Chains A and B, each alone.
Chain A
Amino acid sequence: MRLKLFKKEIIELCKTPRGWILLLLFIGFSLVNAALARYTPEILAKFGDLGINIPPATFYDSYIQFYKNMNSGVLIAVIIIYMTTVTREVKKGTIYLILTKDITRNNYLMSKYVAANLFFTLSYIIASIIQIAMTALFFSSYYTSEILPGYIVFYLFGLFLLNTVIACSASYKSGGIGAFVGFFILLISPYISLIPVVGKYTPGALANFPVNFLMKSADFNDIIAAVMITAALMFLIIYLSFMKFNKREL
């Protein structure tokens, strides 16, 4: 990887709306999760008797809200923003100027991966810290030993989604393929993980795990295999994308 190109990727994320939108979504949701969890039962109670028994909110609800918003907001934005990582540069023509300099296709693609993963990681860490802080603000308790494993497992799911979307963008002419695969992972794979026997080894299991773990309906040992498989699959997808990108006609 060329450091200068990597630096350009980071500057690009800071200077263009894409980076800001993603960071603001990460921060925005983590700022409101705790408040939403805390006041939703009270707001619903104001509508009168809805025929459902709403238990008082606990700090667990704040974290459940965090994962829900990650799934329905932030990770959708990740797909939309990164599905054109390479295809956008091909379409704009910037890739032709860069690749005719002293840089290999591997260097070029590696810069994209590293910058995207670093940006996602930093944003996720910031969002996680804010989440804990806001939970502490709205609830008397804010931490349990189930929080950290859940964070890490969901982080890996996010990385898997991000890298698969970038891999599609590097491998195919259309950004639509990245979008299709990304939304499949985000929306369908959690249901695939419910398939008896084999489902628990699939990447989708990582999306369901944090909430189940918080609710004490899952054991950490149950997810280890899925974590290993997802990590291996992610590296394989990245590797294959390098091979495909090197052979791809631009």
Chain B
Amino acid sequence: MVAIEIKNVTKKYDDVIAVNNLTLSIPVGSLYGFLGPNGAGKTTTLKLLTGFIKPDSGTITTISKKVSFLPDVPGFYGYMTPREFLTLCADINHIDQKDKKIDELLEFADLKQKNRKISSFSRGMLQRLGIAQALITSPDILYLDEPVSALDPIGRKQVLEMLKALKGNMTIFFSTHILADVERVCDYAAIINNGNLVTAGTIDQLTSKTSSAMIELSVSSITPLLISQIESEEVVEKVVHEDNMLYISVKDKEKAGITLIDIIRENHLILYKYDLKSTDLEDVFVKAVIK
């Protein structure tokens, strides 16, 4: 089932196309990473999703109106304590048993002991409070704009752990330019560049979409004839011989696998090692953005 359906959405600012004909389906309960370099159109997309700006064309439909949002730099009333701020949010939304809920959220955000003014908070604490305030309404959909980008490694880890803990309870759509974070917690990702959607799917789908790969091969005898035989194959891009190992760049890892095994068999060689280095999201991202 789809939680958020974005169909042919375009948004322009004067002559600049911030988002161009974006079409994307976000499954219910998914933790969806929205990747892109700075200025790719991520924040504009999130503002379109949250209704703060209107698309020039296209439609956005969501399965629920219970949505929450955390902007990239969340602003709080610095004179309040986290409990006071969450109480304000709870009161606005007429939350039942608000004290219990606030206690739970402060615990979840590791802010229960932080009963001082928000103005004295670190970026990491602000971000965790931002997630807590977003959860006070028990949303079905949670939008987060670059929730970890400005945090130190500890802060990042804490926020990502929070997102991981929420996985499955709601649909989470978050933008980032940090690939490792998406790989770490997301089950889906989309890559946007210059306002255009480059690719989208599960993390496995995205990484397998890139058919090129590196194969590490070790056989009983590596001769110049063997190397030239491998190089002559159409599927092979490059062969490097180093320390009794062959590092073979291939265009298509499936076809290359069959071809290389055939060559080994024809040459009556013993196969010591065959290691297919899988493509990670970084390769997909770099290729998508450079394209």
In the complex, the answer to whether B76 meets A97 with C-beta atoms within 8 Å is yes
B92 touches which one: A93, A96, A102 (CB < 8 A)? Answer: A102
Q: Would you give the shortest CB distance from A108 to chain B, in whole angstroms? A: 10
Alpha-carbon distance between A243 and B52 when the two chains are bound, in angstroms? 15
Q: A100-B50, A102-B93, A103-B92 are in contact. Are A93 and B67 (CB under 8 A)?
A: no
Q: A5-B92, A93-B74, A103-B92 are in contact. Are A15 and B79 (CB under 8 A)?
A: yes
Q: A96-B52, A249-B53 are in contact. Are A16 and B93 (CB under 8 A)?
A: no
Q: Would you give the shortest CB distance from A239 to chain B, in whole angstroms? A: 22
In the complex, the answer to whether B54 meets A249 with C-beta atoms within 8 Å is yes
> How many residues of chain B get a CB closer than 8 Å to chain A's CBs?
26
Q: In the complex, which residue of chain A has the Cβ closest to the Cβ of B92?
A: A101
Q: Would you give the shortest CB distance from A16 to chain B, in whole angstroms? A: 6
In the complex, the answer to whether B92 meets A100 with C-beta atoms within 8 Å is no
B274 within 8 A of A: no
B175 within 8 A of A: no
Of A92, A95, A96, A99, most buried by chain B (CB within 10 Å of CB) is A96
Residues of A within 8 A of B52 (CB): 96, 99, 249-250
Q: Would you give the shortest CB distance from B58 to chain A, in whole angstroms? A: 16
Q: In the complex, which residue of chain B has the Cβ closest to the Cβ of A103?
A: B92
Interface of chain A: mostly helix, strand, loop or mixed: helix
In the complex, the answer to whether A100 meets B77 with C-beta atoms within 8 Å is no
In the complex, the answer to whether A16 meets B79 with C-beta atoms within 8 Å is yes
Of A8, A95, A101, A103, most buried by chain B (CB within 10 Å of CB) is A101
Q: A97-B130, A100-B69 are in contact. Are A4 and B91 (CB under 8 A)?
A: yes
Q: Would you give the shortest CB distance from B100 to chain A, in whole angstroms? A: 19
Q: Would you give the shortest CB distance from B167 to chain A, in whole angstroms? A: 21
| Contact pattern, B 81-113, Cβ under 8 Å of A = 1, otherwise 0 | 000000011011110000000000000000000
Q: Would you give the shortest CB distance from B120 to chain A, in whole angstroms? A: 15
Restricting to A84-98, which residues have a CB under 8 Å from any CB of B?
Answer: 89, 91-98
In the complex, the answer to whether B89 meets A94 with C-beta atoms within 8 Å is no
> How many residues of chain A get a CB closer than 8 Å to chain B's CBs?
23
A4 touches which one: B73, B92, B133 (CB < 8 A)? Answer: B92
In the complex, the answer to whether B79 meets A101 with C-beta atoms within 8 Å is no
A12 touches which one: B47, B70, B77, B133 (CB < 8 A)? Answer: B77
Alpha-carbon distance between A198 and B215 when the two chains are bound, in angstroms? 87
Residues of A within 8 A of B91 (CB): 4
Q: Would you give the shortest CB distance from A106 to chain B, in whole angstroms? A: 14
| Contact pattern, A 5-18, Cβ under 8 Å of B = 1, otherwise 0 | 10010001001100
Alpha-carbon distance between A94 and B76 when the two chains are bound, in angstroms? 5
B68 within 8 A of A: yes
Q: A2-B92, A8-B88, A249-B52 are in contact. Are A93 and B73 (CB under 8 A)?
A: yes
Residues of B within 8 A of A94 (CB): 75-77
B137 within 8 A of A: yes
Q: Would you give the shortest CB distance from A1 to chain B, in whole angstroms? A: 12
Residues of A within 8 A of B29 (CB): none
B75 touches which one: A12, A93, A100, A103 (CB < 8 A)? Answer: A93
Q: In the complex, which residue of chain A has the Cβ closest to the Cβ of B54?
A: A249
Residues of A within 8 A of B27 (CB): none
In the complex, the answer to whether A97 meets B89 with C-beta atoms within 8 Å is yes
Residues of A within 8 A of B70 (CB): 97
A100 touches which one: B67, B76, B79, B88 (CB < 8 A)? Answer: B67
A101 touches which one: B71, B76, B137 (CB < 8 A)? Answer: B137
Interface CB pairs A-B, < 8 A, 19: A2-B92, A91-B75, A92-B75, A93-B73, A96-B75, A97-B74, A97-B75, A97-B76, A97-B89, A97-B130, A97-B133, A98-B92, A100-B68, A100-B134, A101-B93, A102-B92, A102-B93, A249-B52, A250-B53
Closest 6 interchain pairs by CB?
A93-B75, A92-B75, A4-B91, A94-B75, A249-B53, A100-B69
